[in-house]
Structure 1
Amino acid sequence: MEKILLPVGCVTCYFVRHGERIDHIDDTWAQRAQTPYDPPLTNDGHMQAQRTGALIHTLEQNAASSTQRTEYLVLTSPFLRCVQTSEELCRGFHRQHTQMHSSLNTEWQVAVEPGLCEVMSENYFAEPVPDSLIDQRISDIASKKVCGNMAYDTTYTQVKQELPTYPENFQDMMARFVGTLDYTTSKQIDELLAQADVETGVRKVVVMVTHGAGVGSLLWATTRQPGAHTVPYCCLTQAQIVARTSQPLSMFGTTRIPAYQWTVNYRAYSEHLPNL
């Protein structure tokens, strides 16, 4: 199939699994919680995310030239642990920026993307998670209850406006993540072309904060190989776009065959978290 080559490095994606969740260290938490399906991070989870944010800064310093302007967008699953991870990623990035006195752009925007949510498996949830979780999380971010260090991107159009149908099987989950990556990438490319800045030094960086199954699916979408055997908390994958097929995008959620080709430089990397 014919490929359309794209400027190397014009779009970079980072895939991050959320940090450690409270119910994985406290067996009684869910019994006391009003929303047992939506656990927050532990203290270690917050620290894991900060360290991963610092790593993103280091990688960005190596990737961006002094003549490039980089635009950062964080897309997060609506689950609280992912939104909290997003906030700490930004905090870690900013802290590293201050320590290194770097010239990188530190203005990050954030948006909720339901297409990145947890797999709606009967093994994880006894009943469907309410779609109201999406609006609640957007409200939390807009009111600065969480992600107070980022502005909400009101121009972002969600790829998927509701949570997946419960129960969700593995094939549908894979297609959902492939579609979310394809449609998000297309939007970034379209914005670059509209700005006529592809050749004048603008980079788009999208940080996708999701879940273990999501990272595995995104690894498949960018490598066409099975996901990592283990997907540790706050592990990091870096993928840079190379090309896309000449065919139009498939209808969302109908295929597990990605439309784009990527180079992947890290794969569920977690060596920056030796003690966490």
Structure 2
Amino acid sequence: MESPKSNMDDGYQNIFVMRHGDRIDNFEPLWVSTAERPWDPPLVQDGMIRAFRTGQRIRSQIGFPIHRVFVSPFLRCLQTASEVVAALSAVNVDPNAMSSKDVPSIDKSKLKVSIELGLCEMLNSVAIRRELAPKDGKFDFTISDIETMFPEGMVDHNVDMVYKELPKWEESVEGCRDRYVKVVKALADKYPSENLLLVTHGEGVGTTFSTFYKDTTVYEVDYCAYVEMRREVSSKDGSVKAGDYEVVLSHGQAGIRFSHDPVSYEPVISQSPV
């Protein structure tokens, strides 16, 4: 664990794990027939609005700042994160604003953004139709290009990714779930004095919820639904002591359908593409 900021008071670290907004191929089925990257759909306009509104809701309901945002390299997650960041960082909060286009000014000092490859989509034919995946199994992302989607000065280029490269195509479902849990824990441990927002895919949200909210079976995760967690963190003599993760049931969980029982977790992607 990195040492916390010297002015940090003993308290809680808060972590949000959010699904992206409404993806275009679920609303326009013919989109994939002409798309250059059919495995990497963007958001529809309603998805942009939903993401911005979710950012506004988080900002208005929590009594603490979000310090860092980590995001999957897939376009739908990047666009979601961009809208959420605009809502969280708007200098003047307009309750009638519908998207980042309605935000005249952003405070770039409010938070930092980083790409995390470990938050990526489940790279197998369960989540991505085989005929839509790259023929060579290599998913092409240019980090320097996708970082330009965020306001200049907001991207933290000094952050080392937990996963230095993408998983290999046809990773196992269990391997993917382990990956999501590993990334959540690793990022939380790396920044114990900061509150984090992780923008990922439906499987990542469902896995996080069922892992940290024991004996839970997740059936479906809506667009922009999120898991809110916290843990007690204290510092003494330069070292950090962290408690167990606690899931905070909040408005974000309204979009997560689950039951409390020891039945094995069913992949949320079985309901709709993630």
TM-score normalized with structure 2 length: 0.73
Confirm or deny: 8 A CA contact 1:57 1:97 kept in the other structure.
Answer: no
For residues 109 and 218 of structure 1, the distance between their equivalents in structure 2, rounded to whole angstroms, comes to 22
Q: Is 1:53 aligned to residue 55 of structure 2?
A: yes
* Structure 2 residue aligned with 1:118: 121
Corresponding residue SS for 1:234: coil
C-alpha displacement at 1:229, in angstroms?
2.2
Q: Is 1:140 aligned to residue 145 of structure 2?
A: yes
Confirm or deny: 8 A CA contact 1:73 1:207 kept in the other structure.
Answer: yes
* Structure 2 residue aligned with 1:253: none
Gaps of at least 5 residues in structure 2 are 1-8, 96-106, 235-242, 256-274
TM-score normalized with structure 1 length: 0.72
Higher helix share: 1
Gaps of at least 5 residues in structure 1 are 1-5, 65-69, 193-203, 245-258, 272-276
Spell out the pairing of 1:1-276 with structure 2 (5 A cutoff). 7-9=10-12, 11-60=13-62, 63-64=63-64, 70=65, 72-95=67-90, 98-99=93-94, 107-123=110-126, 124-126=128-130, 127=133, 129-133=137-141, 136=142, 138-142=143-147, 144=148, 146-148=149-151, 151-189=154-192, 192=193, 204-226=194-216, 228-242=218-232, 260-266=244-250, 268-270=252-254
Greater relative CO (CA pairs within 8 A, separation 6+): 1
For residues 228 and 267 of structure 1, the distance between their equivalents in structure 2, rounded to whole angstroms, comes to 16
For residues 44 and 199 of structure 2, the distance between their equivalents in structure 1, rounded to whole angstroms, comes to 17
For residues 96 and 71 of structure 1, the distance between their equivalents in structure 2, rounded to whole angstroms, comes to 15
For residues 189 and 177 of structure 2, the distance between their equivalents in structure 1, rounded to whole angstroms, comes to 18
* Percent identity between the two aligned chains: 27
State the AA in 2 paired with 1:210. Answer: T
Confirm or deny: 8 A CA contact 2:23 2:76 kept in the other structure.
Answer: yes
Corresponding residue SS for 1:230: strand
Q: After TM superposition, what 4+ stretches of structure 1 lie above 4 angstroms from structure 2? A: none
For residues 83 and 117 of structure 1, the distance between their equivalents in structure 2, rounded to whole angstroms, comes to 11
C-alpha displacement at 1:92, in angstroms?
2.2
State the AA in 1 paired with 2:176. Answer: M
* Structure 1 residue aligned with 2:259: none
Identify if the C-alpha distance between structure 1 residues 262 and 84 changes in structure 2 by more than 3 Å, giving closer, same or farther.
Answer: same
> What value does the CA root-mean-square deviation take over the aligned residues?
2.7
Confirm or deny: 8 A CA contact 2:23 2:44 kept in the other structure.
Answer: yes
State the AA in 2 paired with 1:266. Answer: S
